[in-house]
Amino acid sequence: MQMCNIFYNRQRRCYVANILQTILAYLSMDLYLQTMRILLTIVFILFSVVFSYGQQLGQVTFNNGSTLAYFSFITEQGVLVRVSAEGKILEWGTEVLADHYDFYARKLQPFMGRVEYYGTQDDSVFRGKVKSIGTCFFTYYDTFQVKTKIGKLRSIGNQYLDYFEGYEDKMLQGRLKTVGALAIDYYRSYENESCRGKLKSVGSLPVTYYSVFDDRVNAGKLKSIGSVNYLWYSLGDRTEMRGALKSRNYRQVISGVTYILN
C-alpha cells in the first residue's frame, strides 16, 4: 500500500511538473512575442525619425530682413540644400561659423561626398541638373507637366514639392506651394504694398511685415514670425543706426525651423 502511495505521489508530481512546464512555455512564448513587438515598435519609430529627418525643412532665410532668399532642407547626412521659392537648387553643403561674433558664414562649406547629375539621355528640361547629393535623390517636373512647373524641383528624397499654377494670383505663380504636407503661402497682389509677394506663412506659422503706417523707415521688413517679434532702429534712433535690427534675433528657431536674417 505504501509503495502504491509513493508511486501515485510521483505520478502526481510529474503531472504537476508537466503542467508547470507547459505554463512556463506559454509564458515564455508570450513574453517573447511581447518583447519582439516592443523591439519592432522601437525600430519602426527610429526608422521613421531617420527617414523623416532626410526630408526635413530646416531653415528659411531672408535677405535684408525683408525678402525671402531660400528654403534649406536637411538630408539624412546632415547636408543643407538651399532651394529658391521657384524650385531651383542654389547651393548645398554644411554651415561654418564666421571668424567673429558667433555668426555663421553665408556661404556653405562644400559637400565632399558623391554628387551626380542628370545626363544627356534624360529629359531635356533637367539635363545637367543635380540628381543626387550623397544618399539624397532629386527629381524634377518634366515637359509633360503644366507650364508653371516644368523643370522645377519635384522631390527631395521622399518629400514632394508642388507649386502655384498659372490660374492663381500672379504674385504666386510658379512659386513653392507645398513641401510634403507643409503648406507655403505668400501675400497676394491685392494686399498691402509693403508685403506683396512676400512669404506669408509656413504651415500654420504666420509671417508679418511692417507697413508704412507702422514704421515708414522699416516698411516691408519683418515684424513677426509666429510669436517672435522683430524690432528695428527707426526715426527715434541715431541716423546711422536706422534700419538695423534692434532685437538681435538674427537666427531664431521657431516650431523646429531656423529662421535666419542675412
pLDDT number for residue 50: 43
Q: What mean pLDDT is predicted for residues 98-118?
A: 87
Q: Is 23 a residue whose pLDDT tops 50?
A: yes
What are the residue boundaries of the structural domains of the chain, listed by start? Answer: 1-53, 54-261
- The helix or strand, by DSSP H or E, that contains position 154, with its residue range, turns out to be strand 153-156
Q: Is 217 a residue whose pLDDT tops 90?
A: yes
- More confident: 11 or 250: 250
Q: How far apart are CA 199 and CA 229, in angstroms?
A: 16
Q: Is 27 a residue whose pLDDT tops 90?
A: no
Query: Could you tell me whether strands 80-83 and 89-94 are parallel, antiparallel, or unpaired per DSSP bridges?
Result: antiparallel
Decide if 35 contacts 231 (C-beta within 8 A): no
Average pLDDT of the chain is 85
Model confidence at 57, in pLDDT bands (50, 70, 90)?
very high
Q: How far apart are CA 195 and CA 186, in angstroms?
A: 9
Q: What mean pLDDT is predicted for residues 84-91?
A: 97
- More confident: 34 or 78: 78
Q: Is 19 a residue whose pLDDT tops 90?
A: no
Model confidence at 36, in pLDDT bands (50, 70, 90)?
low
3-state SS of 50-114 is HHHHCCEEEEEEEECCCEEEEEEEECCCCCEEEECCCCCEEEEEECCECCCCCCECCCCEECCCC
- More confident: 20 or 243: 243
Which cell numbers hold the place of 10? 510521483
pTM for the complete prediction? 0.78
**Amino acid found at 139:** T
Model confidence at 53, in pLDDT bands (50, 70, 90)?
very low
Decide if 73 contacts 158 (C-beta within 8 A): no
Query: Could you tell me whether strands 109-110 and 115-117 are parallel, antiparallel, or unpaired per DSSP bridges?
Result: unpaired
